[in-house]
Amino acid sequence: MLSIRNLFLTLILGLITGLLAAGFFKVLFLIQDFQSHQTMYLYLMPVLWIVLRWIKQNTSYFPTTVSGVHKSDDLEYKYWSRLSIPLNFVGASLSHFVGASVGREGAVVVFASGVGRLLGLDLKYFKPILMAAGFAIAMDHPWIALVFIYEMFSTRIDQKLFAVLAAWVGCLVLRSFQLPALFDPILVVHRNDFWDLFFFVLILSLSVGYGSRLYKWIFQKIKTLTHPKKQWGGFLLVVVLTAVLWLPEFKSVHSLSLTSFEQIKNGIVSEQFLWMKFLITVVSVAIGFWGGDFIPSVVLGSGWAVWLAPHFKVDPQMALMLGAFSFFAALNLLKWTAFFLTLSVFGSEHFMWLYFCLTLVKSFSGNVSLYRHEP
């Protein structure tokens, strides 16, 4: 039975999270403009890493990742810092500013969780709603909340309805600021031989699946190296990351990745760029900079697919559609979320090929999801 109180709290949750997401995205656009003609911000990367680590060690517990929200229990939730929202907002913004290759969806999910703590919501009931609504608001697609909550949790019907409602309110708030869409619709024309496309999907799904296993293995090793008891290991790694990013050829993999996606849409991608983006992203996320992995994973999946396409005589737009959210699905084992995100951008004309590809990707990706199991 629907609760009027929970309905009212859901509306407030969507409103505040939408406002936070809009402010965060505006800051990211300013950062993107600044970084287009500057590199001096890299000096601040080691300093920010120390500051973020100090904040985590000297405040009440609060999550900074999607997996952190997912694994939180009622006792931790009771003692979350009430400063989690401003701390996460500033920490995620500065993580992008200094050039770390992190995504934006993780920040919005933790914003939503912080709003839940601020409103005194029951974590056991509202955690799926908080996470699904935050993710959908970050995507600016309210119905994705329904798919996300279905894949991540076992929930009641009213929780699913509240997740969509909160996401709908948040997306309306986000759109009222007239921010550019995360992804513009892309028309895909099917001009491919069946067998060429079939073997392309096999190789793409195999390489993305096992590529995600490599990513998660490196992620785990870096997490071990940068454990709070190993201060110097983490600091040396962030100094190495800073030094590497100073190299001119690494400028393209700094921080925000939407400009890279625009180039990939036009068929501009190199194998060197993909390896650089892969390594810089896994190090940035695992070493402790705040944010998610969604946009970098989109760049990696779509870039790899477009790079492979000519080798199989597959149309680049078809490859772009199949690869766009494949690496995200592989990292987090969210096949249906990736499926419906792809349909929202590319349309449903080639949904059978998409389903075939994502099913194989998930089967090759192991059983570890970074949204559920962070080392």
Cβ-count burial 149-158 (b if 16+ within 10 Å, e if not)? bbbbbebeeb
Residue where a domain terminates, one of 141, 176, 211: 176
Contacts 24+ apart (CB under 8 A), 7-10: 7/162, 7/165, 9/119, 9/121, 9/126, 10/129, 10/162, 10/165, 10/166, 10/169
**pLDDT value of position 342:** 96
Whether the pLDDT of residue 231 is over 80: the answer is no
Residues 55 and 83 in one domain: yes
**Model's pTM, two decimal places?**
0.93
Q: What are phi and psi of 115, to 5 degrees?
A: -65, -40
Answer yes or no: is 167 within a domain. yes
Residues 33 and 137 in one domain: yes
Give 98's Cβ-side CA count (13 Å radius): 27
Across the range 97-125, mean pLDDT stands at: 91
Residues 207 and 63 in one domain: no
112 or 253: which carries more pLDDT confidence? 112
Q: How far apart are CA 257 and CA 208, in angstroms?
A: 19
Answer yes or no: is 181 within a domain. no
| Single-letter amino acid code for the residue at 344 | S
Answer yes or no: is 15 within a domain. yes
Task: Supply the mean pLDDT for the chain.
Answer: 89
Q: What are phi and psi of 33, to 5 degrees?
A: -65, -40
Residues 114 and 219 in one domain: no
**pLDDT value of position 182:** 80
Residues 265 and 338 in one domain: yes
pLDDT tens string 339-359: 999 999 999 889 999 999 999
Range of the domain at 220: 194-364
Residues 26 and 119 in one domain: yes
Contacts of 136 (CB under 8 A, 6+ apart): 142, 143, 144, 145, 148, 163, 164, 167, 170, 171
Contact present, 102 and 293 (Cβ < 8 Å): yes
Answer yes or no: is 183 within a domain. no
Residues 20 and 150 in one domain: yes
Residue where a domain terminates, one of 111, 145, 176: 176
What is the residue-wise DSSP string for 340-374?
HHHHHHH-STTHHHHHHHHHHHHHHS-S--TTT--
pLDDT tens string 268-303: 888 888 998 999 999 999 998 998 889 999 999 999
* Angle formed by the axes of helices 351-364 and 335-346, nearest 10°: 150
Answer yes or no: is 369 within a domain. no
Across the range 142-156, mean pLDDT stands at: 94
Residues 223 and 120 in one domain: no
**pLDDT value of position 375:** 56
Answer yes or no: is 78 within a domain. yes
Residues 208 and 336 in one domain: yes
Answer yes or no: is 105 within a domain. yes
Residues 166 and 242 in one domain: no
Q: What are phi and psi of 89, to 5 degrees?
A: -60, -50
Percentage with pLDDT > 70 across the chain? 96
What is the number of domains present in the chain?
2
CATH code at 235? 1.10.3080.10
Residues 88 and 120 in one domain: yes
Contact present, 145 and 163 (Cβ < 8 Å): yes
Residue where a domain terminates, one of 176, 206, 232: 176
Give the residue among 39, 38, 62 at the shortest CA–CA distance from 52.
62
Q: How far apart are CA 190 and CA 176, in angstroms?
A: 36
Residues 341 and 252 in one domain: yes
Answer yes or no: is 186 within a domain. no
